[in-house]
Amino acid sequence: MADFVQSLARGLLVIRAFDADHPELTLSQVARITGLTRAAARRFLHTLVALGYVRSDGRLFALRPQVLQLGHAYLSSLSLPALAQPHLEKLAAQVRESCSMSVLDGDRVVYVARVPTKRIMSVTISVGTRFPAHATAMGRVLLAAQDRAWLDEYLAKARLERLTSRTVVDARRLRQELDVVRGQGWALVDQELEDGLRSLAVPVRGPRGVVAAVNVSAHTSRGNALAVRDDLLAPLQAAAKLIEEDLRQ
């Protein structure tokens, strides 16, 4: 494609070479992870240093907080998380469980707002965290809202990863689950993402359909799945309704 700016693609790849397992990288490591030559990796790293996105002590390179401004450009361009945040804060205070909002990105849910109360998952969830949609309550709500053609293609192609012994990994069964979710207007996922964790999610509807999902998560020590629905569905639906009202204004 003549229009494609290879240098931009490669530069973004260099940023994404850094992660929890590789917070600091040498030039050679960046070259290896990105598949770039050492000379090219050096040019991109030096550019990112000059722009303030990367710091270096001469040998090791690491990302600088300015990188957050790129993600922040996306977040601040969405009015939805800002608008949802106070409602999620009230909901979290009311039910004393963590609440979140996600949108769908391909076959993943991406957290765009989060009010944590206490840690119940093995990983820290923050804005930007991604999980496979099929194994999460918010993902099921968002998948159920997609049109038929999109869903057919997703179900035909998606690799439905088994994350716990309970994860639905069969496409036909997932389709049935999504039909149920679409019908009842909420999804409850019981330890399919992580053992010990249940999540209840409902859609947030805008003028042109579902725009996000909000959830409450709870540890299994709270009681059984039925208790989660009985205790948490009404407050969660009420919060979603308030968000939808704010959206219309």
Residues in 74-103 at the binding interface with a copy of itself, rule: CB under 8 A: 74-79, 81-82, 85-86, 89-90, 93, 103
Considering only residues 44, 131, 154, 186, which one is a binding residue for a copy of itself as defined by CB under 8 A?
Answer: 44
Q: Tokens standing for 42?
A: 């050096």
- Give the C-alpha separation, 176 to 196, whole Å: 24
Q: Does 206 bind a copy of itself (CB under 8 A)?
A: no
Q: Does 41 bind a copy of itself (CB under 8 A)?
A: no
Answer for the pair 206, 247: CB distance below 8 angstroms, yes or no.
yes
Length of the chain, please?
Answer: 249
Answer for the pair 103, 121: CB distance below 8 angstroms, yes or no.
no
Q: Does 213 bind a copy of itself (CB under 8 A)?
A: no
Answer for the pair 204, 211: CB distance below 8 angstroms, yes or no.
yes
Considering only residues 10, 32, 219, 222, which one is a binding residue for a copy of itself as defined by CB under 8 A?
Answer: 10
Q: Does 22 bind a copy of itself (CB under 8 A)?
A: yes
Question: At what angle are helices 171-184 and 137-144 packed, to 10 degrees?
Answer: 80
Considering only residues 26, 47, 94, 237, which one is a binding residue for a copy of itself as defined by CB under 8 A?
Answer: 47
Q: Which residues of 137-146 are buried (b: 16+ CB within 10 A; e: fewer)?
A: bbbbbbbbbb
Segment interacting with a copy of itself (CB under 8 A) among 49-57, 131-139, 151-159, 202-210: 49-57
Closer of 25 and 193 to a copy of itself (Cβ): 25
C-alpha neighbours within 13 Å on the C-beta side of residue 126 = 3
Q: Hey, is 210 helix, strand or coil?
A: strand
Q: Tokens standing for 16?
A: 């994404």
Q: Does 221 bind a copy of itself (CB under 8 A)?
A: no
CB 165, min distance to a copy of itself, A: 27
Q: Does 46 bind a copy of itself (CB under 8 A)?
A: yes
Closer of 18 and 168 to a copy of itself (Cβ): 18
Closer of 111 and 186 to a copy of itself (Cβ): 111
The sheet carrying 25-26 orders its strands as 25-26, 60-63, 54-56
Q: Does 70 bind a copy of itself (CB under 8 A)?
A: yes
Considering only residues 29, 56, 66, 237, which one is a binding residue for a copy of itself as defined by CB under 8 A?
Answer: 66
Q: Does 1 bind a copy of itself (CB under 8 A)?
A: yes
